[in-house]
Structure 1
């Protein structure tokens, strides 16, 4: 008799999500609920911004302040160094403070060391902080692997004043990452494929992905104006939640598909290494829309909106061109490698199909942008 296969739908989420203006000062009190000897991981720039209010909160909570620097991608070697620091200092909780790489490295180190971990983003630049996974890169910045953990962070803390003070490009990148969430989750739902936690998507995860999308279309442009004036507004609070919590829950429990696989493929092109995660993901989202034969109006609206947000939707903007056949072929091959999330699409996807779609977005976006009087694309990074 064949063994019975159990199909489960799972929702994964952090134990506690905290968001608000000035929230960094409460980090000590929040961490004191889950540990007594925290290790903080932050680069010098971030530490210069958060140290004063963070120390005040730690003193009030009676916690020691121990911080180590971080100045690399989330590589396997960087993770191992943090594990050593955890052991030598007898730490029982680790908090990654800053961007996606430091947070991913802290999560991976906390898991390996068998302690609790917290995510403290200083910008709403990606949906990684809430998840039970880390993205590991090579020292050169190319995608290497996903690492999955049996639990989500014990704490995710977002200070929206820090978000308002971060470079505008960080929020733009977060919007690009989050816009992909609904496009990928609905494809995964159609295929009833696996999610990032290894099970089938829940309706809740899919619904949260859609809510993230709706909030971004309503509030993204106003949130960017708040960042430009270094102010915290309801629009910025809404977009911070959409970029971080809703997109985080949506991608992890709703599923990834072509957009993030194409992002991973793009890391194989050295021209893209200076781009943010969300900038590369946005190219993946548009390519997925072309791959699935989305209505022309939906593609047009996406191009217009993302151009106004400041996200790339042409190869030119990410340092490539339709004539870069060898580079685009390498991207397409990497995006369709066995085990990649592109195989969550509700139809088979080949490297040839990805190559065709990637090559096509240049002409489509240029035509739409011209029709709406939007600027011609120029490279985001200069050689």
Structure 2
């Protein structure tokens, strides 16, 4: 049986990594780059990129990304890039700018450099593209033919972003030890539709231990806009290790729960990693982990201001049976929910959510 694992062509991380993007483009022999950037990067961050490209005599055109990653926008920008003879792409910003760039790259079969400006999730290294409709609802999930050619992480940019995003990245990543191991145990498949290699489990497990050891210190440093050894190790864990682990290892309950949680209006606006952090506690409870282990997990998540109950996640009303039914029904409709042993059902999931909300 085949087992597949995907990797970006290069992963580059450093204090002012964006300042080297011109040299990197020349090394890759990129001649004319389409730069898609978030409005939030205008000023210091965008200038760092354009200055480096100009100093390296790399031709580029800029497009300010605003709005949503839709089929319509991807088609429009694909045509625009073709008209300008673009042979490569740079994504600068958050997840939707990255996904739009991935969509264009897929259609034009040209290389891309992904430059996340927040470390809020492990999406940068993956092939996944989340496409929305004009009402901001998920319309489709696509995959590029290969992982990004280069992922470039500028630590100075990361530590100057709001610390809440950094914490969300920890929340998204800490689930991977639980999810990848459950996916293998339940004979689930990864995003390449194969069983995971042992390397994926190794990376998922190491991600957890890195975060438990360095996460709190790194979070405190980010709040002070300081780059430290802790920050370097946590960013490598939340962006690279976690990204490789989820895509090549598979996902389980902690991510399936997002479908259920976002069906509740009071929870729908929370950051992805905040929802996953809560889902990780539910998964740990449902796995019947030792009491002390779960307490340590909860204490750690709270130490980096991540939610561990529905109340902390933003649902401050009394939990009703109808509300639980909505969460459970939507969660069990997600394919990831099948990656769990013993099999999930309405009753064991209901009991796990109730226990999690009163765990102490």
TM-score band by shorter chain is over 0.9
> Which of 350, 353, 356 pairs up with 1:355?
350
Shift of 1:284: 1.4
Equivalent pair of 1:142/1:267 in contact (CA under 8 Å):
no
Within a 5 Å distance, the mapping from 1:134-153 to structure 2 comes to: 134-153=129-148
> Mean alpha-carbon deviation: is it higher for 173-182 or for 110-119?
110-119
Shift of 1:283: 1.6
Query: Number of matched residues?
Result: 358
Q: Which residue of the partner structure matches residue 326 of structure 2?
A: 330
TM-score of the aligned structures, taking structure 2 as reference length: 0.93
> Which of 2, 10, 34 pairs up with 1:16?
10
Kindly provide the CA deviation profile for residues 220-264 of structure 1, in whole angstroms up to 9, marking residues without a partner as x: 111112212211111111011000000011111111111111123
User: 1:351/1:116 Cα in 2 relative to 1: closer, same or farther (>3 Å)?
Assistant: farther
> Mean alpha-carbon deviation: is it higher for 240-249 or for 222-231?
222-231
Q: Secondary structure at the match of 1:41?
A: strand
Shift of 1:72: 2.7
Q: Secondary structure at the match of 2:60?
A: coil
Within a 5 Å distance, the mapping from 1:67-82 to structure 2 comes to: 67-82=62-77
Shift of 1:139: 4.2
Q: Which residue of the partner structure matches residue 230 of structure 1?
A: 225
RMSD: 1.9
Q: Which residue of the partner structure matches residue 104 of structure 1?
A: 99
Shift of 1:142: 4.2
Q: Measure, in 2, the Cα distance between the counterparts of 1:64 and 1:354.
A: 54
User: 1:158/1:257 Cα in 2 relative to 1: closer, same or farther (>3 Å)?
Assistant: same
Shift of 1:63: 1.3
Kindly provide the CA deviation profile for residues 131-181 of structure 1, in whole angstroms up to 9, marking residues without a partner as x: 111223444544444322221000100001111111100100000000011
> Which of 277, 281, 290 pairs up with 2:276?
281
Equivalent pair of 2:332/2:345 in contact (CA under 8 Å):
yes
Q: Measure, in 1, the Cα distance between the counterparts of 2:9 and 2:307.
A: 34
> Mean alpha-carbon deviation: is it higher for 268-277 or for 244-253?
268-277
Q: Measure, in 2, the Cα distance between the counterparts of 1:290 and 1:137.
A: 33
Q: Measure, in 2, the Cα distance between the counterparts of 1:100 and 1:165.
A: 17
TM-score of the aligned structures, taking structure 1 as reference length: 0.88
Provide structure 2 residue ranges, at least 5 long, that are not aligned to the other structure. none
Equivalent pair of 1:258/1:344 in contact (CA under 8 Å):
yes
